């Protein structure tokens, strides 16, 4: 991984993907993405009963980029979508409706109708949404799409409050431990034979695997209770979500999918005995390690004795890192202007410095007092582990453009050949002006 990354940085400079006119770029390691997808498939193949249908649906929000979705589809994955836009991206990537799952806490009637018409599986979030679905399904015992209900097992949160989806007051799903909720869910399935799935998404960054497995066990036990109450296997599929956390401290991939799958087999053995189809919704863990933001140092300065490298990668890309650095720290690497790893400085080659972004507020820092080789104008910094969310959640502060994103293959037989493919072209200033209402420039002035 590290060797491919170093090759790609040097090649990006040599091939002109990065320079004074394009001072920031996103890179994706295609081999790394393929390897992560293969690891996910293999991990669950080892624990399920042979022949059990398993759909690994990539959480599109983690990388809302059509070429990425297409690559993952080629690797056998589907898509989990949470908006009309994400659904459109999945379809543009050629993902078929039977391999798409719609999850969102705020689906409109039109979104529900479209999913049913297309045959896309969806998970209802709450009783009101179930009523809407019921009106659309009518008397059909066999609706055109698999329909499920999301439950919140309320097993607790992890170390990042904003990423914890199974707390007592989470906004997602039916809060199963609230008074009367469990009985209502069992009764609801008995009254709606077209409901055939349960969904629970417990994990995300900061959540331990044991907490995730505990939540899935709650969902499994509820499915068993419902099927027992109705006297048949009405629930035939369990959507266990995703949320495998990522190690942002090193290149080591830990925890891994095998570790999680084995823990699930120990904690919820009946999940894999062949009676239930399985759906997963992993996102960050499939892409994070394969991404790199590469940015040019525009200026090197100091303030109050602190060295500051002013770069072109800040809150517009690393939004979570800038606003919540304790929860979302990033590793930073230093390169010279030609893309070679940089050395120098004190006896150990490093000096503390701030890595600042281009946004006009004082807190736009992706790293504070970070020991690095001393950076100079024209050098490059790399923000590692940024393959998920950092490329698809652009923060348009100061009307900064979205950078170009390129996938790379550094696995050539000679070891020094790097090929690039465009994932998304750099956004132009003209495009920013257009999307900012230029066609309606006089609209407000004409109001009286």
**Domains of the chain: which residue ranges?**
1-28+288-436, 31-283
441 burial level (CB within 10 Å; 0-12, 13-18, 19+): exposed
State the average pLDDT over residues 152-164.
Answer: 82
pLDDT score, position 416: 64
Gap between the terminal Cα atoms of the chain: 61
State the average pLDDT over residues 376-384.
Answer: 98
State the average pLDDT over residues 425-443.
Answer: 97
The verdict on whether 359 is a catalytic residue reads no
Would you say how long the chain is, in residues? Answer: 448
Angle at 211 between CA 171 and CA 383, to 5 degrees: 80
Those residues with Cβ within 8 angstroms of residue 86's Cβ, 6 or more apart along the chain or in another chain: 60, 61, 64, 79
Distance CA 275, CA 52 (A): 8
Q: Does domain 1-28+288-436 have CATH number 3.40.190.10?
A: no
Among 2-6, 9-13, 152-156, 385-389, which stretch is predicted with the lowest mean pLDDT? 152-156
Q: Which of 79, 207, 359, 360 is catalytic?
A: 360
Residue 59 has pLDDT above 90, yes or no: yes
Among 46-50, 155-159, 200-204, 249-253, which stretch is predicted with the lowest mean pLDDT? 155-159
Those residues with Cβ within 8 angstroms of residue 274's Cβ, 6 or more apart along the chain or in another chain: 48, 49, 51, 52
State the average pLDDT over residues 138-159.
Answer: 86
CATH architecture of 31-283: Alpha-Beta Barrel (3.20)
pLDDT score, position 171: 87
Q: Using an 8 Å Cβ cutoff, are 291 and 368 in contact?
A: no
pLDDT score, position 170: 86
pLDDT, tens digit, 9 for 90 and up, residues 102-114? 999 999 999 999 9
Ramachandran angles phi, psi of 36, nearest 5°: -65, -40
CB atoms near residue 108 (< 10 Å): 11
Angle at 135 between CA 129 and CA 138, to 5 degrees: 130
pLDDT score, position 414: 56
Q: Using an 8 Å Cβ cutoff, are 445 and 437 in contact?
A: no
Is residue 228 within a helix (H) or strand (E), and if so which, with residue range?
Answer: helix 209-230
Please give the mean pLDDT across all residues of the chain: 94
State the average pLDDT over residues 371-375.
Answer: 96
Residue 61 has pLDDT above 60, yes or no: yes
pLDDT, tens digit, 9 for 90 and up, residues 79-97? 999 999 999 999 999 999 9
């Amino acid at each position: 991984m590290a060797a491919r990354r170093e090759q790609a940085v040097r090649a990006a400079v040599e091939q002109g993907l990065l320079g004074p006119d394009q001072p920031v770029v996103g890179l994706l390691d295609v081999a790394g993405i393929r390897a992560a997808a293969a690891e996910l498939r293999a991990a669950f193949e080892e624990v399920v009963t042979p022949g059990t249908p398993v759909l690994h649906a990539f959480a599109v929000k983690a990388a809302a980029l059509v070429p990425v979705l297409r690559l993952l589809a080629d690797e056998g994955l589907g898509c989990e979508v949470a908006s009309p836009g994400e659904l459109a991206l999945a379809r543009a990537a050629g993902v078929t409706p039977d391999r798409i799952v719609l999850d969102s806490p705020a689906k409109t009637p039109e979104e529900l109708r479209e999913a049913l018409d297309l045959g896309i599986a969806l998970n209802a979030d709450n009783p009101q949404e179930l009523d809407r679905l019921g009106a659309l399904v009518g008397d059909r015992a066999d609706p055109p799409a698999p329909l499920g209900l999301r439950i919140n097992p309320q097993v607790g949160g992890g170390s990042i409050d904003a990423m914890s989806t199974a707390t007592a007051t989470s906004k997602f799903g039916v809060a199963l431990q609230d008074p009367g909720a469990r009985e209502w869910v069992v009764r609801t399935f008995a009254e709606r034979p077209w409901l055939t799935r349960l969904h629970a998404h417990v994990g995300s960054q900061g959540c331990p695997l044991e907490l995730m497995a505990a939540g899935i066990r709650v969902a499994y036990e509820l499915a068993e209770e419902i099927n027992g109450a109705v006297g048949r296997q009405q629930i035939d599929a369990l959507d266990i979500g995703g949320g495998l956390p990522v190690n942002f401290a090193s290149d080591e991939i830990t925890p891994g999918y095998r570790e999680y799958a084995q823990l699930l087999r120990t904690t919820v053995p009946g999940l894999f005995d062949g009676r239930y189809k399985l759906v997963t919704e992993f996102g960050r863990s499939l892409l994070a390690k394969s991404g790199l933001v590469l940015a040019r140092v525009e200026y090197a300065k100091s303030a109050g004795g602190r060295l500051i490298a002013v770069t072109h990668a800040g809150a517009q890309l690393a939004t979570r890192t800038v606003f919540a650095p304790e929860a979302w720290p990033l590793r930073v690497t230093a390169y010279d202007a030609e893309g070679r790893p940089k050395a120098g400085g004190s006896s150990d080659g490093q000096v503390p410095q701030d890595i600042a972004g281009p946004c006009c507020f004082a807190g736009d820092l992706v790293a504070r007092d970070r020991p690095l080789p001393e950076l100079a104008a024209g050098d490059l910094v790399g923000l590692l582990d940024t393959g998920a969310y950092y490329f698809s959640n652009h923060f348009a502060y100061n009307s900064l453009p979205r950078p170009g994103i390129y996938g790379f293959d550094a696995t050539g037989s000679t070891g020094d050949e790097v090929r690039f493919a465009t994932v998304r072209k750099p956004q132009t200033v003209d495009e920013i002006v257009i999307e900012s209402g230029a066609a309606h420039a006089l609209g407000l002035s004409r109001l009286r």
